[in-house]
Structure 1
């Protein structure tokens, strides 16, 4: 009996997740109603409220799942050399590619801007920490460099998703790593 209930709960949550992702393609989360979600997921309102407080709660849970997965993916590697930082960037891009639809929507204009900030923080935790240790600089300058690199990389990532991932994760990692380490003055 419990397995049947668990399966039903998983199915309901999956349908609500798909429904909110579908609606986020068209509008902001603040414009999405519980009624719309329930109609699209083909569930009743009481079922929705047994899982989530509101559409924002649903979106937050989806974002938390993605961020936890990203941390686990990146945390499973112990990179310390430049080549390893390249591999970590590639692993992050592979993760994004594997979760393309959700990541593209969450990073879009209809996604939560706080999600982008959280992705930037994870990137700094895992990738920029090593980069800053190599390029010794004053703390404030280091923060500015980190913000510059991560912001640019995030916009490159969004463009890559919008272009249908026209390059492999490895090619994109090499490109991002090259810009991070050598800037625009060094040819590719």
Structure 2
């Protein structure tokens, strides 16, 4: 990476970090470009070289997080995950998803929290839901009840997102990635066993 590109990247990262910090402190509605520039330790002119306003910064953060999350979520295969659950083992692609969320915990915590953006929360849920649906189509394409599938995807994706939000928003980040993955699997296994009675 050239010096110029690295400087651009670092400046944009400082602006993104400043936005998250300001959202936590004053809420998105009260964030100003002046405040962002101050926290990012740049002048307003430099801010405008990279973004038009705070909404553009928010959009950039969300798109970057969703893109990186999608790259990890697409590796999840329900059949393999089910075998892992039944064997009481960790499923590595899911662990990688949680690891990424932990690495970006501050961003996810703020954007999925009360001060965050409901559209981002919906974007994460839809991302999980789309992958679940793709997996269901592969597994049971010939006997798929699309109406049931739609609600099943909504149920599972909301449950997964709910556990992640609980982990982030309530400061449970001390739980290891592996422990959180195992909690997800224990929940799914518990529900499966409960319904089989």
Provide the TM-score with structure 2 as the length reference.
0.80
8 Å Cα contact 2:125/2:157 also seen in 1: yes
Which of 119, 123, 127 is matched with 1:114 structurally? 119
Matches within 5 A, 1:94-109: 94-109=99-114
Structure in which a larger fraction of residues adopt helix = 2
The equivalent residue for 1:90 is 95
The equivalent residue for 2:152 is 145
Unaligned runs of 5+ in 2: 86-90
CA 1:133–1:6: 2 relative to 1, 3 Å: closer
The equivalent residue for 2:9 is 10
Q: What SS does the aligned partner of 1:43 have?
A: coil
CA 1:185–1:28: 2 relative to 1, 3 Å: farther
Deviation for aligned residue 1:52: 0.6
Deviation for aligned residue 1:139: 1.4
Unaligned runs of 5+ in 1: none
Q: What SS does the aligned partner of 1:165 have?
A: helix
Moved more, 20-29 or 49-58: 20-29
- Give the aligned length: 184
Q: What SS does the aligned partner of 1:180 have?
A: helix
The equivalent residue for 2:88 is none
CA 1:142–1:181: 2 relative to 1, 3 Å: farther
CA distance in 1: counterparts of 2:60 and 2:130, whole angstroms:
21
CA distance in 1: counterparts of 2:165 and 2:119, whole angstroms:
15
Q: 1:155 aligned to 2:162? A: yes
Deviation for aligned residue 1:84: 6.1
After superposition, the C-alpha distances for 1:141-183 in whole angstroms (9 at most, x for unaligned) are 2211221221122121111122332432223223223433541
